[in-house]
Chains A and B, each alone.
Chain A
Amino acid sequence: MWEVIALNRRKSVFLMFLMAVLLCAVGAAFGDYFTGFYLHGVLLACTLWLILSAGAYFQGRNIFLKISGARKITREDHPRLFNIVEEMKIASALPAMPGIYIIDDPAPNAFAAGRSPETAAVAVTTGLLNTLNRNELQGVIAHEIGHVVNRDTLFMSMVGVMVGTVVILAEIARRTLFFGNNRSQTRTSAGKGQAQIIILAAGLALMIISPLLARIIYLAASRKREYLADASAAVYTRFPEGLAAALEKISGSSLKMQKVNAVTAPMFIVNPIKKKSKKKKRDSIFSTHPSSDNRIRILRSMAGGTGYMSYDESFRRVTGHNRPFLPASALQDAAVKPEARDPKKEPAHKTMKPGIDTIILAGTILAQSFPEPNSPASKARETCDALWKSRGYHFITCTCGAVLKIPPELQQSNIPCLRCRRIHPSVNPHN
């Protein structure tokens, strides 16, 4: 997907250029106002810009890890996590092992950082390690590595550091202006007064441009890139259900992350700043991430392989967009067949057998797969079906193949299919 990589690189360069222009404009205005020569301000601004750009490019990864409170782990600490990351490193042909970090937080989430595949880092929360099984964890790691390979992490690190710095400076300026003035008012020397005014003006300037820059962060975080990373995860693992189940668990969790703010939020796999929104199907331009519902549905309705082409086709079917969504170089790949998921790739007690969704929602709704006819499993299934029917349960067959058994007392008027999330109107007479 070289088009995506090239685009992210261009965007990073454009961002640096934009920041240079902004800073120089502010610097010129200052220099002109205070010293009569705008050149002084411009020089100062250029120095600032150099420091900012170098810091963002070379240290963006470490800055993000520090802000999120991530600590590095070795193979001995978490052999399973290490193995999962190593497997994905092999599948994605990364040149070097990413650094693996853990965030001590009960909320499940993960992010990736790093300006290139050689300097990649992946961070997961302890909540994620406790909630997900091996396949789901692997899906999340594959998604994050997809971000690294597509150079999303390069662009987002730079956006975060450069814009975030300005936003933080604006915050500091705001506080100094409103709370710090009282002390210096008694001084009468002209020099101190001059410094006072400079700080005042700087603070005002930053306060004015920082909301604008904060908007830039939101616009820069692209919903499309999240979908692309989902597609990459499906290709690397050849098992889209892993990531789909993981997204379901992460978005369904009601826990809130502790060390997160608007600047780091776009980097995570699911938006850690939760708004009280109902499940939405359309992605608004004001959100940093696409709706988890959409992502899960697209992953689960991939048919005919796990390659980029099937993801693209599934995406168009679910969201209704007509034009091809993925870049041309990815679509050139032939459809990739899913590997017969070997149940022994995972310890038996943690396996979710392929094709069977035995999700029990508070003991009320069940979905099933289709066992071979005349096998003991299918006979048991028929007996159970007869039992449910005798108790007044309604059966709804979804187009994805799952059969939902709805208890007669359920008052919900729209029931999402457990496998593919399509909405079915309830047939219960109370509604």
Chain B
Amino acid sequence: MITIIILALAVMLVFAVAGIYNGLVRARNAVKNAWSQIDVQLKRRHDLIPNLVETVKGYAVHEKETLEKVISARNFAMNASGPAEAGRAESALQSALKSLFAVSEAYPDLKANQNFLALQEELTSTENKVAFARQAYNDGVMQYNNRTEVVPSNIIAALFQFKPSEFFEIDNPEEKEVSKVRF
């Protein structure tokens, strides 16, 4: 009789451990997925830029340097190796794009152009998507880290070598500065 009870308890324990382990695996995979989503959005940004440059070129022939800066920043970002270099390249690209949009304010024909407006919306949305992808990654990391540290599951996590992940943080101090608009 007692052996049956002990057996039942042992089976329940095994199921509980399996459940916690599976939860940890799912959370870790969610983190990996979220990380690759960031790359998807960054690549989207790279692909949109040649379109933008072509549209602007037609109207703003005097702004060659700004356009060239954008192109070279984009190429640098596409060929960057390693996360640190890629991070810096992406921030450089972001600032180049900002200056391009600021420049376009001076050309009313360009501003009214439908293509340009559509591209502006696309690029704004892409910037948002990169930001949200990073946010979703951080949220995923937080949920996974919670599981590795909270009391019932941290035992299982330690047993099966689940290590906490790192948050995505901005290394570039320029990006942290919210740009001030002067009149």
Contacts and interface: CB of A to CB of B under 8 A. Distances in A.
B120 A347 contact: yes
Given A91-B135, A93-B30, A346 B122 contact: no
Interface residues of A, number: 24
B140 A90 contact: no
Contacts of B4: none
A90 B121 CA distance: 17
A40 B31 CA distance: 55
B94 to A, nearest CB: 10
B128 interface: yes
Interface string B140-183: 10110010001000000000000000000000000000110100
Given A332-B150, A342-B178, A93 B140 contact: yes
A77 interface: no
Given A87-B132, A334-B142, A339-B135, A93 B34 contact: yes
Contacts of A83: 121-122, 125, 128-129
Nearest to B125: A83
A88 B121 CA distance: 16
Identify whether the interface residues of B are mostly helix, strand, loop, or mixed. helix
Contact of A93 (B101, B128, B136): B136
B158 to A, nearest CB: 19
B43 to A, nearest CB: 14
Contacts of A333: 142-143, 146
Q: Chain A contact residues: over half helix, strand or loop, or mixed? A: helix
Contacts of A86: 125, 129
Central interface residue in A90, A91, A332, by most chain B CB within 10 Å:
A90
A91 B143 CA distance: 14
Interface residues of B, number: 30
Nearest to A346: B124
Nearest to B124: A345
B125 A87 contact: yes
Question: Max chain A CB contacts within 10 Å: which of B121, B132, B178?
Answer: B132
A238 interface: yes
Interface string A329-358: 000111000011011111100000000000
A90 B37 contact: yes
A345 B136 contact: no
A238 B135 contact: yes
Contacts of B101: 344
Contacts of B32: none
Contacts of B142: 333-334
A324 interface: no
B101, B122, B178: most-surrounded residue (chain A CB, <10 A): B178
Contacts of B131: 339, 342, 345
Given A333-B142, A334-B142, A342-B178, A87 B128 contact: yes
Contacts of B67: none
A87 B41 CA distance: 10
B124 A90 contact: no
B127 A91 contact: no
A345 B127 contact: yes
A79 interface: yes
A339 B138 CA distance: 13
Contacts of A343: 181
Interface in B26-69: 30, 33-34, 37, 41
Interface string A262-296: 00000000000000000000000000000000000
B178 A347 contact: no
A88 B127 CA distance: 13
17 contacts: A79-B118, A80-B121, A83-B121, A83-B125, A90-B133, A91-B132, A91-B135, A92-B136, A93-B30, A93-B33, A93-B136, A238-B135, A339-B135, A344-B124, A344-B127, A345-B124, A346-B124
Pairs A-B, 7 closest by C-beta atoms = A83-B125, A91-B132, A90-B132, A340-B178, A87-B128, A93-B136, A87-B132
